[in-house]
Amino acid sequence: MSASNLPHEPEFEQAYKELASTLENSSLFEKNPEYRKALAVVSVPERVLQFRVVWEDDNHQVQINRGFRVQFNSALGPYKGGLRFHPSVNLSILKFLGFEQIFKNALTGLSMGGGKGGSDFDPKGKSDNEIRRFCVSFMTELCKHIGADTDVPAGDIGVTGREIGFLFGQYRKIRNQWEGVLTGKGGSWGGSLIRPEATGYGLVYYVDHMIKHATKGAESFAGKRVAISGSGNVAQYAALKVIELGGSVVSLSDSKGSLVLAGEGSFTPAEIEVIAQLKVDRKQLASIVSTDAFASKFKYIEGARPWVHVGAVDVALPSATQNEVSGEEAQALIDAGCKFIAEGSNMGCTQAAIDIFEAHRTANPGSAAIWYAPGKAANAGGVAVSGLEMAQNSARINWTAEEVDGRLKGIMESCFRNGLDTAVKYATPAEGVLPSLVTGSNIAGFTKVAEAMKEQGDWW
């Protein structure tokens, strides 16, 4: 990882160090020293694709973007992971996301490897025709490298159902076959029910298990004050599920600022619906803060994340993007009485924040501590239902919403139990101290992939 001939990739290096440090600080390498070799092998992608994407804007001007696909690991199944269209996209970010995806997918128990892709194209401000032309050009190259049994991309930031439709249509035309090559498809042509809701719902199902375990079944989401960042797909559906389970949602945010409840109460489903439409229209929260419906109930903090502004909270769900909880904000959440934090976003917490949460957990027995859950476990619901969409496509059937939601609940419980039990085995906590979900989840995901790779001759 530190070889001088490697490019500087800060996001990927952070993700690697986060995983490696938890493995080092457990008894895993002591009990299985050969796993060090597996870590070295799994940290190098099987394949990295980079290509140019040339398209024409509405003014008939040629535009050029970079396209990427990191096919990281296929030991457990076809590469699986989203496509991100955002100006910030680069190889470091996609490698970090693909690396996380390997172990997240392993934790679901489904047959999926890990990958990630995207482009530095920005869909904001573009017409539908410009987005379609870009997607056609992007898929014209990508289609040579993916397939239902090879690599199955999905949506991510900037890639909604609209983009998935354009991408799928071009794949079908060029390859002359209809197959489940993308997930997040439209409901009438191969999509799965509950897929849009899956990451947010799954996050809340996971945290519900945390609450019940820490309080020995005495508490649930009922009556809890919950701070959420982001206002996209994950944040919206997490908020709606929290409200359904009796909790209060006190914040949402976007890249320009945070909307925080001014007093008691909660966001309502109707208010979240207004915000959801705002995101479909690609507008910012700032555009509604002065309206009568919002000005009397919420305060808008420009240029800030919500964590230090929400007052007393019980649960925090970072659901926007990577590194959105700093060390200072982590301490502020602890001081505000927060007992549970789980990442709806990938690598939502900085390493400094994770260190503070973990130190507080080890120093405080039982429910007196804050308990942290990493994204690779807590937000696995999205890719889990993508896996269920793949299964439905392969069998040419559709499950009901109840069937999919039931399977999602089972997968999230399994993710929680697996991480919990593995932490007890390899990082046994002191008497009364809650186990480390980050260590347990990392080891559980890593060992499953490492064993499959070993049996297939990828390391020995």
Check residue 336 and give its pLDDT: 97
pLDDT tens digits along 425-456: 999 999 999 999 999 999 999 999 999 999 99
CATH node for 197-378: 3.40.50.720
pLDDT at 452: 98
Give the pLDDT confidence score for residue 377 in this predicted structure.
Answer: 97
CA distance 41 to 39: 5
Buried-state track 93-123, b at ≥16 Cβ within 10 A, e below 16: bbbbbbbbbbbbbbbbbbebbbbbbbbbbeb
Specify the domain boundaries for CATH 3.40.50.10860 within the chain. Answer: 44-175
pLDDT attached to residue 4: 56
Q: Assign domain 44-175 to its CATH architecture.
A: 3-Layer(aba) Sandwich (3.40)
- pLDDT tens digits, 37-82: 999 999 999 999 999 999 999 999 999 999 999 999 999 999 999 9
Alpha helices in 396-460 (DSSP H): 401-426, 437-455
| pLDDT score, position 280 | 83
Which stretches in the chain have pLDDT values below 70?
1-5
Give the DSSP letter of residue 311: -
Secondary structure (3-state) at 324: coil
Considering the chain, tell me which residue range(s) the CATH 3.40.50.720 domain(s) occupy: 197-378
Q: What is the DSSP string of 87-156?
A: TT--HHHHHHHHHHHHHHHHHHTSS--EEEEEES---TT--HHHHHHHHHHHHHHHTTT-BTTTEEEE--
Q: Is 241 a catalytic residue?
A: no
Count other Cβ atoms within 10 Å, centred on residue 41: 15
Q: What does DSSP assign to residue 306?
A: S
pLDDT for res 293: 87
The model carries a pTM of 0.94
Q: Letter for the amino acid at 420?
A: L
Q: Please report, as a single letter, which amino acid is at residue 273.
A: E
- The pLDDT value recorded for residue 3 is 54
Q: CB under 8 Å to 53, separation ≥6 — which residues?
A: 64, 65, 66, 67, 119, 121, 134, 137, 138, 141
Binding site for substrate, by residue number, is: 80, 101, 104, 155, 386
Task: From the candidates 116, 185, 224, 448, give the one annotated as an active-site residue.
Answer: 116
- Phi first, then psi: what are they for 71, rounded to 5°? -95, 95
Q: For residue 1, what pLDDT is reported? A: 55
